[in-house]
Structure 1
Amino acid sequence: MGRQVVIDSILHGLRQPEYVHVLLNPVPVYGLLVSWIGLIIAFFLKSRRAQIATLGLVFICALSAWPVYEFGQQAYDRVLSMTDEAGEQWLDEHQDRGEDLIWIFYALAVLSAAAIVVPIKWPKSSVPLLITVIVLGAVTLGAGGYIAYAGGKVRHREFRNEPPPPKRSEREH
């Protein structure tokens, strides 16, 4: 009976977009960081096999931003109903940052896939593509941290060591 309760609880959580968002959101940040470090090591080792493996991991982690983004969009109203006023402002900022920067993750996923496939036909493209993936990976990690910074303040008052940003409409005027 206890095992069934645990299974039912897990299945219930997986039907909640806010839970799935929180469950997956470390992948495009921490997963990408570990993959990116591996790619740098593979680059210096000059091992094409290691480069392909780590490019595959970078691809998966960058592409994982898509379900994180989608589940975050689906969860917006539910999370909004659970937060205080400052949390609402951080939630809006988190959403705005995600909407503005999601394309960087997609670009990294496409570039990583290209860095795996293109050198099959043009071997000399391998190093420039790897360097480009490493640079874009660093930018993407920065974007992920920037998005996550606001997201961490939505429900965690203990992390709010600064006032929430003004609403986007107030900043645009």
Structure 2
Amino acid sequence: MKPEYLHAISNHMLVIGVGLGILALLLALFLKSRQAQIVALVVVLVSSAAAYPVLFLGQQAYKSVRGMADEPGQGWLDTHMERAETTIYIYYALLLVAGAALAVPKWKPKTAVPLALATLAFAAASMGVGGWISYAGGRVRHPEFRDGPPPAAVEPRHQHTLHE
């Protein structure tokens, strides 16, 4: 399959998975159930692990999508890619915190709720970041979503066109 399609599919798995993980974690904390927390944390962990494939597939799709986009869409694509590459670390942090929230309470049970709350905070932050990234991504090939030109270009750290 083409990387642009795989990027779109895996992105939805990331966003929907983390969103469902947030809901499950909120419910688990409300119920004060460690078993429910574990299920919710696994959902968050597995979903946040999709962040790297989403980024990788987006980088692989960059050149072909850029060729399909109009000029404003190309600007939105550059913004989308820059945002994703700059903020991917929030997803890596979420992965680490969720992993810690699963593992550490086995040895230190009193850390379960604070680590679950930290996971919830990182998951909420990742959803905010994901929305910010997606805002630009949705405007690449959909002029009906554009409410203005893309933000001023940031000096690229590297050339995306090298990915083939």
TM-score normalised according to structure 2 size: 0.92
Which residue in the other structure is 1:11 paired with?
none
Which residue in the other structure is 1:128 paired with?
114
Q: Which runs of 4+ in 1 moved over 6 A?
A: none
Asked if 1:169 corresponds to 2:120, the answer is no
In 2, Cα distance between equivalents of 1:123 and 1:129:
10
- Residue 50 of structure 1 aligns with an amino acid whose one-letter code is A
Which residue in the other structure is 1:158 paired with?
144
In 1, Cα distance between equivalents of 2:132 and 2:9:
18
Higher helix share: 1
Offset at residue 31 of structure 1 (A):
1.9
In 2, Cα distance between equivalents of 1:73 and 1:163:
22
Structure 1 residues 9-158: aligned runs within 5 Å:
14=1, 16-158=2-144
In 2, Cα distance between equivalents of 1:37 and 1:150:
26
Identity %: 45
In 2, Cα distance between equivalents of 1:161 and 1:81:
22
Offset at residue 35 of structure 1 (A):
1.1
Unaligned runs of 5+ in 2: 157-164
8 Å CA contact 1:43, 1:51 repeated in 2 = yes
Q: Can you list the C-alpha shifts for 1:17-72, whole angstroms capped at 9, x where unaligned?
A: 11100111112222211111110110110111110000000011111111110000
Larger Rg: 1
- The alignment partner of 1:153 has SS state of coil
TM-score normalised according to structure 1 size: 0.87
Q: Can you list the C-alpha shifts for 1:119-153, whole angstroms capped at 9, x where unaligned?
A: 00110111110111111111111001101110000
Unaligned runs of 5+ in 1: 1-13
In 1, Cα distance between equivalents of 2:27 and 2:17:
16
- The alignment partner of 1:155 has SS state of coil
Offset at residue 169 of structure 1 (A):
2.8
8 Å CA contact 1:36, 1:134 repeated in 2 = yes
- Residue 61 of structure 1 aligns with an amino acid whose one-letter code is S
In 2, Cα distance between equivalents of 1:122 and 1:46:
17
In 1, Cα distance between equivalents of 2:118 and 2:17:
19
In 1, Cα distance between equivalents of 2:35 and 2:127:
24
